[in-house]
Amino acid sequence: MYVAIAGASGYTGAELLRILSRYKDIEINQITSRQYTGKTLKDVFPVFTKSKYENLTFKENLDLSISDIYFLCLPHEASLELVKQLYDNGKIIIDLSAAYRIKKSEVYKEYYGFEHNYPHLLEEAVYGLPEIYRDKIKTAKIVANPGCYPTATLLGLYPLIKNNLLNQNNSVIVNALSGISGAGRHLKEDFMYPESYSNVYAYNITKHRHTPEMEDVIENVSKKKISIRFTPHIIPISRGMLSTINVFIEISKKDLKELYYDTYKNEYFIRLQDRPSRVKEVIGTNFCDIYVDYDEKNKIAVITSAIDNLSKGASSQAVQNLNIILNKPENYCLENLPLFP
């Protein structure tokens, strides 16, 4: 199988290259980057020196015919058009942008600033969260790889959604923390070292792009419209993400913990912890660490969910989806434990 990575010079593209360099049954035959066209992978990223693909050269544009599977690590609008072209060429696409994640086409104008011209492809696209949509991913031609915040949050909520324990009367409040790499590999004043060091702040408090993505999946699974009160924060670490979820619900602590165990007991990449989740313990892995507790006084289930935003929140989850499509074990090339300390 020949694999292409579009936008391979960004953080998610580099993470894909790191993981796929150990993948035995594929060959990466094209990588693109307009900024680094003509340069080799090791020229741009010296960390890849002596890797399998160290001399692979960045191209400016994709050839739509010479690869079998295309990973797109591009801005949303670029992916919007490219997915259509690749789909028409009969290719398998794993899109790491948000261009095909949300089924409601009208949302894109409000949250992303562009009209979605291919609503029929939104129906074809499968949301690439394996723990929920594994069976559909197996035969998908378009996999819409989830966002990092939605991955952490939806996995934290899924046992409650799956067992029909959420409805319009349950308030769901999510506070999430992300490392700076979640903003991408580009210059911005807020993310410069003097601005970000020893600093923490919330952003897009009332209208974050990932809110409709989460609500769309919840509605798709539960058939109910449930609002998420979502507040994201930037913290001064390079990678890692923690989502703290508060759900107003009446349930015993014992039943709550059993619910999560029963839901995730056969999921390799979900690790239920006996203490609140810690970002350091998932860095560089495809694991999602979840901790569940219950506030008896206030009738609130409290769930913490930790992932690496570049891995389970993006690239390693994309490889997990690839494994499903190729009928491989889902942990193939993803068995590594986190670096610690």
Token pair 């289930």 is found at 301
Out of 73, 148, 288, 333, the active site residue is 148
Locate the DSSP E strands across 196-260: 201-202, 228-234, 241-248
Is the CA virtual torsion 56, 61, 63, 68 positive or negative? positive
Token pair 């074809």 is found at 124
Residue ranges of alpha helices (H) inside 163-239 are: 193-196, 210-222
pLDDT exceeds 80 at position 216: yes
Question: What mean pLDDT, rounded, does the chain reach?
Answer: 95
For CATH 3.30.360.10, the residue range(s) in the chain are 149-307
Decide the pairing of beta strands 241-248 and 300-307.
Answer: antiparallel
Q: What is the pLDDT of residues 301-317, one digit of tens each?
A: 999 999 999 999 999 99
d(CA 4, CA 22): 15
Q: What is the pLDDT of residues 32-67, one digit of tens each?
A: 999 999 999 999 999 999 999 999 999 999 999 999
pLDDT of residue 187: 67
Nearest alpha carbon to residue 313 among 93, 114, 156: 156
Based on the residue annotation, tell me whether 73 is a catalytic residue of this protein: no
- Predicted confidence band at 178 (pLDDT cuts at 50, 70, 90)? very high
Under 8 Å between Cβ of 152 and 305: yes
Q: Could you tell me what percentage of the chain is helix, strand and coil, using 3-state DSSP and rounding each to the nearest 5?
A: 35, 20, 45
Q: What is the pLDDT of residues 250-299, one digit of tens each?
A: 999 999 999 999 999 999 999 999 999 999 999 999 999 999 999 999 99
pLDDT exceeds 70 at position 1: yes
pLDDT of residue 196: 85
Decide the pairing of beta strands 142-144 and 228-234.
Answer: unpaired
pLDDT exceeds 70 at position 98: yes
pLDDT of residue 183: 77
Q: Domain 2-145+314-325's class?
A: alpha beta
- Report the CATH number of the 149-307 domain: 3.30.360.10
Given strand 142-144, what is the order of strands in its sheet?
A: 58-59, 27-32, 2-6, 69-72, 92-95, 142-144, 126-127
